[in-house]
Structure 1
Amino acid sequence: MPHSAISRTVAASGPLRGAIAVPGDKSISHRALILSALAVGTSRIAGLLEGDDVLATAAALRAMGVGVERTGDCAWAVHGVGVGGLLQPDRALDMGNSGTSARLLMGLVASHSITAAFTGDASLSRRPMARVAGPLRTMGADVTASPGDTLPLMVRGLCPAVPIAYTLPVASAQVKSAILLAGLNTPGITRVTEPVATRDHTERMLAGFGARVTVEDTPEGRVISLTGEAELGPQDIVVPGDPSSAAFWLVAASVVPGSDLTLRGVGMNPTRTGLLIALRLMGADIAELDARTVGGEPVADLRVRHAPLHAITVPPELAPSMIDEYPALFVAAAFADGRTVARGAAELRVKESDRIAAMAAALGANGVPAREHHDGLTIQGTGGGSIPGGGTVATRLDHRVAMGMAVAALHARAAITLDDASPVATSYPDFFPTLAAATMQEPTP
């Protein structure tokens, strides 16, 4: 289906005030659906993110014989078929813009006796799948991809597959999770070693569903071991608020004078708090309130108030815990006092867009000096003053570029136009209405 761009112009606002709840965590939502599909019985999920990416995962699971139904506002029931119980889909699985859906479901299919074709939109079809296809081929799956190991591609699963011990060459929670999902229906022990720790939602949730999984810290890194041919039991899951969605409000309230905003129920998993650490290093005023545990994940309310930010050299070791939040960080840097240097994030080149190039161009078009490196940006900030604005941003089918520059517009002297705001629906369908409410503006179509 041809993509229909929806342009949107965002102008400077008053302070952001009040309290908002961010949507459910996207990473956890995908995994909750997939593991519920492999349990025997009915799992119930509250707080599921109902963005296009997660809905693509739900649709693919339905196509493979899983009962997935919406029972209320962000409430879903999944009637699992058990590990090994997936059925042959009768059509291609459309992943839309969702790299997480594609990579995790490739792993899921790899150890089942089914064949599945994976397709996606233009953006997803440019993203690399070799890093997932390689280990799945080692486990015995036949992965036939387009040139460059991209979508569209076909996965012919092998059952029983072959357990492997695999060391991640690049820090990637998606690759780790794909291998572990393949390992669920594979006899023996599947091991993944990650030299640099990545988000651990899969390991936490596997244990919650009853899989035999261990995590060990070794001199080589974290070793996750999973015993295959697992039997998973149904669960009731509460999805915490997405820290990647909260990132935009943390930056917006930090840079717009007079702001005082509370974000309710944000996930505080230590593998996801890199942006929080970076913003505090820059001088952000962010308080954690009512720390608690929800669905096995640490959660807190975050109160953020406007504060003068200063430039930093972003510690590169934070990259794995904030890789999706760099567009928000780049916007914060645009308003800081001095020159912020963010390096060590070459992975940004292969996200929904080349986020280094996309954000450099977007900031530059709106009067913010930004210099590209192969693995990041150097950005000259305003010292707290407004940026010039007035430019048009090529969002490049990237939801985080669109939301990041919408935040930048809130403290710009001239309005900023997004050439296509529609990708925001992949992760945060209510972003613009929430922005209007937080700034007490009249919502626009």
Structure 2
Amino acid sequence: MNTTALTPLTARRGGPLQGRVRVPGDKSISHRALILAAMAVGESTVTGLLESEDVLNTAKAMSALGAKVDRDKDGVWRVRGVGVGGFAEPEAPLDFGNSGTGCRLVIGAVAGCPIKASFDGDASLRKRPMRRILDPLEKMGAQVLEQAEGGRLPLTLQGARDPLPLEYESQVPSAQLKSAVLLAGLAAPGETTVIEAEATRDHTERLLKHFGAKIVSKPHGELGRRITLQGQPELEPADVTVPADPSSAAFPMVAALIVPGSDVVFENVMMNPLRTGLFTTLKEMGAKIEVVEKRDGGAEEVADLRVTTSQLKGVEVPPERAPAMIDEYLILGVAAAFANGTTRMRGLKELRVKESDRLEATADMLRVNGIAVEIEGDDLIVHGKGSVQGGGEVKTHMDHRIAMSALVMGLASEQPVRIDDSAFIATSFPDFTGLMRGLGADLA
């Protein structure tokens, strides 16, 4: 992507947001569905795939590794897999653009194959830490041949010829780290086990089971899980329907809560309890979020949600909720700014190693628009007054979630809010501006 030509965008207060929408397919499941389909034997279909830059880069990586990946005219993706351990050595470096999820998961999948592959990304992804996933993968037999300082991209990995099973106790609550170890463990004999002190999103475990792997997840300690995978399965081809992404839905949902007179229905939203921490928090703040219909969506439960304008109040968000809403704290900061009273979000250390330092970036986004905000350790404290002055220009730092959060703020603030670059919104929500304009938002 050309990052030299910035594409600024401004959000202005206007009329109510109204309508019925389906936000894009879940990004986490889209990445995993492509990877596991490529590791199965036979043809799988993926319906509702998020066709964002991040996910398309994962699709390209699967093709480069030897899987056959095609998109039908009706939008259904067909993936003919090569089997566990069957990836071919790619001819060129695998470029993941802005996607930490795609890159880390594919590193894990490649680590169990006897091939050499190089991994790279854009300037933002090159700043993000990879060492945390490389450490356990090296214990399983993979070798890092080349790497940038601190284990960052670009790096070259030699996958294990005879991968070893591993029992690994994660030191940080990271679904990407857990998933990388499990994907590598598919090619190892015996059992690979990941122990996490805090349960993180379990899409990899659910989809592994969906593709025929033997995997067991049990409680561990007060909040954690112990996940055990039986290695060397022959993954079966499967059909996957990707539900709407709750992390993407978060932005228009908060907009509907803070823009006066709004009434919006969101269709087919994934309701995995390890992904709905934001919904829980917003309800504690007084948000009117009604579950219209809940149903089985295959590997995940889904629901239609009706969201209407609400008077919000400040709350304290416990640190143990962070894994269930780690991507949503930026937009929660916007909701907190429009609430009455102080909101304290605890335990946000993981935000510092996302596409940007999201803890500092969230505070900057709020301060430049007149909100009193503090950072104490890993806590973010927002002093809401029920309204926001606005009028600021927000630096997005090549981060799609900062961009969308700032634009949502501008839809209800007294003065317009401008972002310096909207280009990176496409990494997760390609038609964000179109969807929001369709609901009545003033974005120009």
Which TM-score band applies after superposition, normalised by the shorter structure? over 0.9
Question: Aligned residue for 1:23?
Answer: 24
What is the DSSP-based 3-state SS (H/G/I as helix, E as strand, rest coil) of the residue aligned with 1:224? strand
| Mapped contact 2:348–2:380 kept (Cα < 8 A) | no
Shift in CA distance, 219/389, structure 1 to aligned 2, threshold 3 Å:
closer
Residue pair 1:44, 1:77 contacting (<8 A) in 2 also: yes
Alignment of 1:416-431 (within 5 A): 416-431=417-432
Alpha-carbon contact 2:411-2:441 (below 8 Å) kept = no
CA contact (8 A) 1:197 1:320 kept: yes
Shift of the alpha carbon at 1:418? 0.7
2:373 aligns with one of 370, 373, 381? 370
CA 73–367 in structure 1, closer or farther in 2 if over 3 Å, else same: farther
Paired amino acid for 2:358: R
| Unaligned segments of structure 1, at least 5 residues | none
Counterpart in the other structure of 1:158:
160
Asked if the contact 2:197–2:220 (Cα under 8 Å) also holds between the matched residues in 1, the reply is no
Following TM superposition, by how much is the alpha carbon of 1:379 offset from its aligned partner in structure 2, in angstroms? 0.9
Specify the code of the residue in structure 2 equivalent to 1:146: A
Deviates more, 1:128-137 or 1:370-379: 370-379
Find the partner of 2:355 among 352, 355, 369. Answer: 352
Contact 2:211 2:236 in 1 (8 A): yes
Q: CA deviation at 1:76?
A: 0.6
Q: Confirm or deny: 8 A CA contact 2:53 2:427 kept in the other structure.
A: yes
Alignment match, 2:121? 120
Structure 2 length as normaliser, TM-score? Answer: 0.97
Q: Secondary structure at the match of 1:231?
A: coil
Does the CA contact (< 8 Å) of 1:159 and 1:186 recur in 2? Answer: no
Amino acid at match of 2:104: R
**In the alignment, is residue 275 of structure 1 matched against residue 239 of structure 2?**
no
Q: Secondary structure at the match of 2:438?
A: helix
Match in the other structure for 1:173: 175
Counterparts in 2 of 1:372 and 1:440: CA distance versus 1, 3 Å: closer
The answer to whether structure 1 residue 308 and structure 2 residue 321 are counterparts is no
Offset, 1:73: 4.9
**DSSP 3-state at the match of 1:79:** strand
1:221-260 aligned at under 5 Å gives the runs 221-260=224-263
Tell me the secondary structure at the aligned position of residue 266 of structure 2. Answer: strand
Deviation of the 1:187 alpha carbon:
1.1
> After superposition, what is the alpha-carbon deviation per residue over 1:2-53, rounded to whole angstroms, capped at 9, x for unaligned?
4232111111121111111010000000000000001111101100000111
Pick closer, same or farther for the CA change 1:72–1:375 going to 2, 3 Å: farther
The residue identity in structure 2 corresponding to 1:217 is P
Task: For residue 345 of structure 1, report the CA deviation from its aligned partner.
Answer: 1.2
Secondary structure in 2 aligned to 1:270?
A: coil
Q: By how many angstroms is 1:373 displaced?
A: 2.6
Q: Would the alpha carbon gap of residues 312 and 440 (structure 1) be closer, same or farther in structure 2, given more than 3 Å must change?
A: closer
Task: Provide closer, same or farther for how the CA distance between residues 202 and 331 of structure 1 changes in structure 2, counting only shifts above 3 A.
Answer: same
Deviations 1:258-282 (A, max 9, x none): 1111100000001001000100010
Following the alignment from structure 1 to structure 2, what is the Cα–Cα distance between the partners of residues 128 and 317? 23
Give, in whole Å, the separation in 2 of the partners of 1:376 and 1:230: 43
Give 2:189's match in structure 1, choosing from 184, 187, 190. Answer: 187
Q: How many Å apart are 1:159 and its aligned residue?
A: 2.1
Whole-Å separation in 2 of the counterparts to 1:22 and 1:395: 22
Alignment of 1:42-441 (within 5 A): 42-143=43-144, 144-219=146-221, 221-383=224-386, 385=387, 387-439=388-440, 441=442
Shift of residue 376, structure 1, vs aligned partner = 3.0
* Mapped contact 1:348–1:355 kept (Cα < 8 A): yes
Distance in 2 separating the partners of 1:130 and 1:373? 27
Which runs of 5 or more residues in structure 2 are unaligned? none
What is the letter of the counterpart of residue 169 of structure 1?
A: Q
- Alpha-carbon separation, structure 2, partners of 1:323 and 1:111: 28
| C-alpha distance in structure 2 between counterparts of 1:409 and 1:39, whole Å | 45
**SS of aligned partner of 1:198:** coil
Of 278-287 and 139-148, deviating more is: 139-148
Name the CA distance, whole Å, in 2 between partners of 1:202 and 1:424.
25
Aligned identity (percent) is 51
CA distance in 1, matches of 2:234, 2:131: 30
For the residue of structure 2 that corresponds to 1:425, the secondary structure is helix
Report the alpha carbon displacement of residue 295 of structure 1 after superposing the two structures with TM.
2.1
- 8 Å contact kept, 1:343–1:373: no
Letter in 2 for 1:276: F
| TM-score between the two structures when normalised by the length of structure 1 | 0.97
RMSD of aligned residue pairs (Cα, Å): 1.2
Q: Cα–Cα, structure 1 residues 230 and 27, in superposed 2: closer, same or farther, change >3 Å? A: same
